Amino acid sequence: MSRPDARTLIETVLDKGSWKSWDTPPADPAVSGSSYADELAAARAKTGFDESVITGEGFLGGRRVAIVACEFAFMAGSIGVAAAERLVLAVERATRERLPLLASPASGGTRMQEGALAFAQMVKITVAVQRHRDAGLPYIVYLRHPTTGGVFASWGSLGHVTAAEPGALIGFLGPRVFESLHGYAFPEGVQVAENLFAHGLVDAVVSAEDAREVAIRALTVLAAEKEGLVAGQAPEEALRPVEAWDAITRSRRDDRPGIRTLLKLAATDVTPLNGTGEGEADPGLLLALARFGAAPAVVLGQDRRRQRAIAPLGPAGLRVARRGMRLAAELGLPLVTVIDTAGAAMSKAAEEGGLAAEIARSLADLVMLDAPTVCLLLGEGAGGGALALLPADRVLAAQHAWLSPLPPEGASAILYRSVDFAPEIAQAQGVRATDLRRDGIVDRIIPEEPDAAYEPRAFCERVARALEFEIARLLETPKADRLPARLARYRSLGI
């Protein structure tokens, strides 16, 4: 397979003709006349690169960005003192100039010829990247073939969004080193981009051409302007009560629009993210970047259909949700949570995976989050899995959505040892959208005319308009006032 070198990659990803190098001649780390000096000279002559890293700036979809990329042909893309210093200077400049940063490693790790000193360079590179992130600036990583060792274990694994080249070898310990140390080959199919995607470690596996489009779309949200959004006129509300059991049965329809339909029909610039970034994924929780109208958001959505077809929401799903919460807080982006679940997993694996603790951590992270938050109660809202995504600045509910500590059948079984009283229990427990609004749990009810399943596009567009309105209103609120108001709201519930 033909793979682009660093310069070709940059030309492919950036707007045509926009690349400007930031590099100056590197300090020579090798003693004159040494074998290492000969290796460096040979690498420079063969590749036309003066080091294993090139840095600079350009435009991506008309947006100015900084970029750093490895060249594997130059001594296996290894990072020594000079390459590390070039990297750090570029990251620091990107931070000073408040530029999004794109990084594309292709490296065997640190440079063995420079020993422990090269190895320790990963610390200062990591510090520079983390300071860039701490400044609220987006960091996007595109892992190329191969990326291993200290590079993968430092700046290659810190992206807000991470994509990988198809078929790329990506792993901590290179397979040749493993086999030399252990006397047998590393298992096939593990250290490959597609397997990392399957385990929630990268967000996408795409070509360089497609990586450009992914980065443009992601930055449309990650680097979006958050001031000057106009809320406009308040959306229409639906305050007509419906029977609780009618709402519950409607919310369970297979053809009722879910989170994926909402994003498809009524959002733009949607970039799905994948997993926790730490080795877990859950089909029941969708994490994405998106825009509703002009309003950017990190979206956490419970996928009711996949929970039914594959597995109920488990602790990994809540860890995916917490990744989204951290992303929103770090970049100051609005967070939209979407509740649509019949309940979290009830299994040995869920218990041993810490489901209750993840519900608690999600609650704590969300209610204390330093970002504007909107919760959408889209359909079913049963149990702790629903509660974990509830405590936002503003809570919206579809007309036939509901919230309950258990599915009504479960509550009926507890009280009467039979599920036959579920409709009466639902009515008595105040689970309907209008009940929730009366009790201060919900702020706005989105109409269904007469049922979201009958009008999916119109309903989803209505939802998107309501989300845009609420996000714009929250962004108008002084940042210092948001969290105290949120905490006061939940402190006063029921009293």
The CATH H-level (homologous superfamily) assignment of domain 240-492 is: 2-enoyl-CoA Hydratase; Chain A, domain 1 (3.90.226.10)
> Quick check: helix, strand or coil at residue 237?
coil
Q: Distance between CA atoms of 87 and 473, rounded to whole angstroms?
A: 40
Identify the burial level of 472 via C-beta atoms within 10 angstroms of its C-beta, where 0-12 means exposed, 13-18 middle and 19 or more buried: buried
Quick one: DSSP state of residue 169? B
Domain borders along the chain are 6-221, 240-492
Residues 6+ apart with CB under 8 A from 233: none
In this predicted structure, what is the pLDDT of residue 178? 87
Which of 258, 393, 372 lies closest to 325 in space, CA to CA?
Answer: 372
For 15, the token pair is: 């707007």
In this predicted structure, what is the pLDDT of residue 1? 61
For 212, the token pair is: 């450009």
**CATH topology (fold) of 6-221:** 2-enoyl-CoA Hydratase; Chain A, domain 1 (3.90.226)
Q: Distance between CA atoms of 361 and 216, rounded to whole angstroms?
A: 32
In this predicted structure, what is the pLDDT of residue 243? 93
> Quick check: helix, strand or coil at residue 55?
strand
The alpha-helical segments, DSSP class H, found in 81-207 are: 81-96, 115-119, 121-134, 149-152, 175-182, 193-198
In this predicted structure, what is the pLDDT of residue 112? 95
Per-residue confidence in pLDDT tens, the chain, 495 aa: 678 999 999 999 999 999 999 999 998 889 999 999 999 999 999 999 999 999 999 999 999 999 999 999 999 999 999 999 999 999 999 999 999 999 999 999 999 999 999 999 999 999 999 999 999 999 999 999 999 999 999 999 999 999 999 999 999 988 888 889 999 999 999 999 999 999 999 999 999 999 999 999 999 999 999 888 888 888 988 788 899 999 999 999 999 999 999 999 999 999 999 999 999 999 999 999 999 999 999 999 999 999 999 999 999 999 999 999 999 999 999 999 999 999 999 999 999 999 999 999 999 999 999 999 999 999 999 999 999 999 999 999 999 999 999 999 988 999 999 999 999 999 999 999 999 999 999 999 999 999 999 999 999 999 999 999 999 999 999 999 999 999 999 999 999
Fold equal for 6-221 and 240-492 = yes
Which of 446, 1, 24, 483 lies closest to 234 in space, CA to CA?
Answer: 446
Overall pTM > 0.85: yes
Per the listing, tokens 């590393």 go with: 186
